[in-house]
């Protein structure tokens, strides 16, 4: 039943969403050919190289990775890729599947909420917000020049122009990260501070989804069961 679920999702989401360089096209094409031939381990290598080394993915490759990982009983990676798919294409079927798998494995932090959907909106529409700020700033600038040419008082228009210019520059250069990650390492030590010499708060098993707060060198401050502690970045899986 689970395999049918993934094959169904792969079918309905199959689309020509291959972007990027020719080498990325080739990796996806090779991976798809291997997947179609049921050479899943080899196709997985192609998709993983694309995802982790080149930071490129498509909805179809993510679903295929989720299917392959679950068929190999690697539930952590299966949930991870399914969750990444949800951030591209949120829908109830995928949300239910993620929560169902998490409940089966008794994993915490997988109540997919409004914050996850808000990040989907941000990923997909931030570029339009950037363009909107920039266009409005340009219109204000033209209006400013026109008033100056006519000798009319400029008022607060220069201030608003600068505000919109700074806003467009901010959105263009600083993209908000998705502050959720999945614990990859088993028996990870949750520390009281960003140091190996700090006291141990708890010992965590792999697969839990955590919310992280801030970075400090190789460490991340995270929330866990209403507590705050520090984990090494290398112990976590991050979403694109």
Could you tell me which CATH class the domain 2-104 is placed in?
mainly alpha
Q: Is the pLDDT of residue 87 over 80?
A: yes
Tokens 């694109």 locate to: 240
Q: Is the pLDDT of residue 7 over 70?
A: no
Burial of 55 by CB count in 10 Å (0-12 exposed, 13-18 middle, 19+ buried)?
exposed
Per-residue pLDDT band at 12 (split at 50, 70, 90): very low
Tokens 């909106």 locate to: 121
- The model's pLDDT over 192-234, given as tens digits with 9 standing for 90+, comes to 999 999 999 999 999 999 999 999 999 999 999 888 999 999 9
- The model's pLDDT over 121-177, given as tens digits with 9 standing for 90+, comes to 777 776 776 677 677 777 777 777 787 788 777 776 677 777 767 766 665 666 677
Q: Is the pLDDT of residue 8 over 60?
A: no
pTM: 0.73
Contact yes or no for 68/44 (Cβ under 8 A): yes
| Segments in the chain forming alpha helices (H) | 2-13, 22-36, 40-48, 59-71, 75-88, 92-104, 114-149, 157-173
CATH fold of the domain at 180-238: SH3 type barrels. (2.30.30)
Over residues 74-91, the mean pLDDT reads: 91
């Amino acid at each position: 039943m689970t395999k049918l679920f993934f094959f169904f999702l792969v079918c309905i989401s199959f689309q020509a969403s291959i972007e990027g360089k020719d080498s990325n096209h080739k990796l996806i094409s090779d991976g798809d050919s291997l997947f179609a031939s049921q050479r899943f381990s080899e196709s997985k290598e192609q998709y993983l190289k694309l995802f982790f080394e080149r930071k490129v993915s498509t909805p179809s490759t993510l679903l295929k990775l989720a299917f392959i990982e679950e068929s190999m009983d690697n539930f952590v990676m299966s949930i991870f890729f399914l969750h990444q798919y949800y951030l591209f294409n949120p829908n109830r079927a995928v949300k239910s599947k993620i929560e169902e798998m998490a409940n089966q494995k008794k994993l915490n932090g997988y109540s997919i909420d409004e914050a996850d959907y808000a990040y989907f909106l941000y990923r997909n529409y931030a570029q339009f917000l950037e363009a909107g700020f920039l266009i409005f700033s340009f219109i204000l600038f033209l209006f400013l020049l026109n008033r100056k040419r006519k000798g009319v008082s400029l008022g607060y228009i220069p201030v608003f122009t600068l505000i919109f210019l700074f806003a467009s520059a901010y959105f263009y250069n600083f993209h908000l990260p998705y502050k959720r990650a999945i614990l990859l390492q088993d028996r990870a030590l949750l520390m009281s501070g960003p140091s190996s010499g700090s006291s141990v708060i708890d010992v965590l098993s792999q697969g839990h989804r955590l919310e992280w707060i801030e970075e400090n060198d190789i460490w991340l401050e995270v929330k866990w069961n209403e507590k705050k502690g520090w984990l090494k970045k290398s112990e976590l899986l991050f979403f694109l």
